[in-house]
Chain A
Amino acid sequence: MAAKKLNIKDKYRLLTRDLDWDFSYEDRKQAFPYEEFEGIKITDWNKWEDPFRLTMDSYWKYQAEKEKKLYAIFDAFSQNNGHLNVVDSRYVNALKLFLTGVSPLEYQAYQGFAHVGRQFGGVGARVACQMQSLDELRHVQTQIHAMSHYNKFFDGFQEFSHMHDRVWYLSVPRSFFCDARSAGPFEFMVAIGFSFEYVLTNLLFVPFMSGAAHNGDMATVTFGFSAQSDEARHMTLGLEVIKFLLEQHEDNVPIVQKWIDKWFWRGTRLLTIVAMMMDYMLPNKVMSWKEAWEVYFEEAGGALFKDLARYGIRMPKYAETIEKEKEHISHQAWWTFYTHGHAAGFHTWIPSDKELDWLSAQYPDTFDKYYRPLWELAKEQEAKGERFYTSGLPQLCQTCQIPMLFTEMDNPNQNSMRDSVFEDERYHFCSDGCKDIFDEEPEKYVQSWLPVHQIFQGNCGGPGVEDVLSDYYKMNVGVDNMDIKGSPDEKRWNEWKGIA
């Protein structure tokens, strides 16, 4: 008779809980030194449950299967010159932004989860975090592999890792993760495991990747959905962490709420860039940012917060502001990149008339009133041979590090500006949300490495902006940057496609 197969629950118990041990001659607190300083109280780690009950042996088995499928498609993609099937050369610029701005975050997530996967006192949480850390490492690797094919044919991919650490707009995603990773392990889990993974990565990986499919990019949709198949497990881990913390002790509730408020705000600011990619950088549109936001944040997030209400958790602070901003932020962000197209590591452009009409239809309350006039001005300038590249350097928010481009929701013509004075120095913010985060921990955010200020301090080479771009950022000036019109990318594309 064949040996009886263990059921999932027994296997999970044997392969996680039974791997732990008690500390008989060492001080447990010294083994887990990060567990208390955030004020979180854990009474019983055994209450931790992994709803998927995934054990290492199954993890390897299924991950290997995912990888085999993925790499078979990468091979086919590159053997068949898959880059020629994307809709047009503008589309590829979204990938440049993805590789420089998002893929390195996967690496930071790997580092972050490896750290907390060591520091949590409970073995169930440690195992789940270690698996997630391996997932994140897989994601960055598969993304680099997928993009390496584009790197052979398009400009702007070659220095993605160097750029992530230095380029002005990439300090936004970079500092977001640095903020989470330099927090304690519980805040990291609420920041990345819950706030970011549960609601926000859906917006990045689901509608945007579906958009990649719709724009003929087989490589991206494949790595995107392969990564996202891990994401469902990460989301479940994130939700489990929150429920666990809230059930462990009532004193955890206000701390968790504070972190939710902070990280939903930080996350929505970060996703401004995804909003812009969806509305402006995908030539074939799947859905507007506004619609994606409604499906994945308002509907899915709404259900989540209703579920959490039984613990005394409410919707994140400033949810009303976020709801209004969905009508504005993609337009404000693309205008910022368009006008700073000389300093970006990818190409920018004026949307086509058809795209402008699509935007009017998707955003009937805001686009024609506030944003179409910007593009009419840009067209006028371009027609005069004066394609508009703005002079000077913008003011940045001390917390999110985004140029202060957001406007007041009760007067969308006026940029929103807040400030705080801490120990005789003034600090500026794009919003009440970012100001609150600073005011809660000024000692942390006085350390923001703001690219504009660093340039003026002489820490990024120079003296001119062009020197900073070429020597410090390693951009191929005149090739990677500027308008798509007349770019080497466009010229090559037209030759491949036989367009005169």
Chain B
Amino acid sequence: MPVYALNPGYKGERMDRVENFHGNQLVYVGWDEHRMFCAAKAFPLPPSMPFAAVIENIMPEAFGQHPEFSQINWETAEWLLDGEPFKPQLEASLEAQGVGHKSMVRFKTPELQGYQNAGV
């Protein structure tokens, strides 16, 4: 049942339709097992943004405060897009490689275990 309502056919207003974001789409980015950041972060990004720009501009904004950030090897990072293994194409746009509105992009850095190797 999509909803239990007094009147049949009730439809709720979609609060976060992509049209509400002024040409951007929401993308979430998360660095696995690095709890210095309490949660993944949200960014409104143009769908045409190439993935290289996410790595160059968005990642430092999101995670640059971490003492291990400068040691990240983006070549060996392992990625998940909406829960599925994913190999980013740096020159292609978000849209072209399936990073859609409210997609979740996660990466793991196998050689970095966090501050004090404690997943922080």
* Chain A residues within CB distance 8 Å of chain B: 33-34, 37-39, 183-184, 187, 332, 335-336, 339-340, 369-370, 373-374, 376-377, 388, 390-396, 403-405, 407, 412-415, 417, 419, 425-428, 440-450, 452-454, 456-458
Q: List 22 A-B contacts (CB under 8 A).
A: A37-B5, A38-B4, A335-B35, A369-B118, A370-B119, A373-B116, A374-B35, A377-B115, A377-B120, A390-B37, A395-B30, A396-B42, A405-B39, A417-B40, A426-B82, A427-B102, A443-B3, A446-B12, A447-B13, A448-B15, A454-B15, A457-B22
Interfacial chain A residues near B90, Cβ < 8 Å: none
- Per the CB 8 Å criterion, the residue count for chain B at the interface is 52
Nearest B residue to A422, CB-CB = B2
B81-108 with Cβ < 8 A to chain A = 82-83, 100-104, 106
Q: Which 10 residue pairs of A and B lie closest in terms of their CB atoms, listed nearest first?
A: A413-B119, A443-B3, A373-B118, A394-B39, A336-B38, A443-B2, A404-B39, A403-B39, A392-B41, A395-B40
A340 to B36 alpha-carbon distance, docked (Å)? 12
- CB < 8 Å: which of A336, A377, A392, A447 contacts B43? A392
Task: Pick the most buried of B4, B20, B22: most chain A CB atoms within 10 A of its CB.
Answer: B4
A413 → B minimal CB distance (Å): 3
Q: Given A426-B102, A442-B3, does the pair A374, B42 have CB atoms closer than 8 Å? A: no
- CB < 8 Å: which of A444, A450, A453, A454 contacts B3? A444
Interfacial chain B residues near A34, Cβ < 8 Å: 6
Contact between A413 and B17, CB atoms less than 8 A apart: no
Interfacial chain B residues near A417, Cβ < 8 Å: 30, 40, 104, 106
B1-40 with Cβ < 8 A to chain A = 1-6, 10-17, 20-22, 24, 26, 28, 30, 32-33, 35-40
B100 → A minimal CB distance (Å): 7
B119 → A minimal CB distance (Å): 3
* Chain B residues within CB distance 8 Å of chain A: 1-6, 10-17, 20-22, 24, 26, 28, 30, 32-33, 35-44, 61-62, 64-65, 67, 82-83, 100-104, 106, 114-116, 118-120
Interface SS majority for chain A? mixed
Contact between A395 and B2, CB atoms less than 8 A apart: no
Contact between B1 and A452, CB atoms less than 8 A apart: no
Q: Given A377-B120, A456-B26, does the pair A425, B101 have CB atoms closer than 8 Å? A: yes
B23 → A minimal CB distance (Å): 12
Contact between A391 and B6, CB atoms less than 8 A apart: no
- CB < 8 Å: which of A33, A37, A390, A425 contacts B102? A425
Nearest B residue to A388, CB-CB = B65
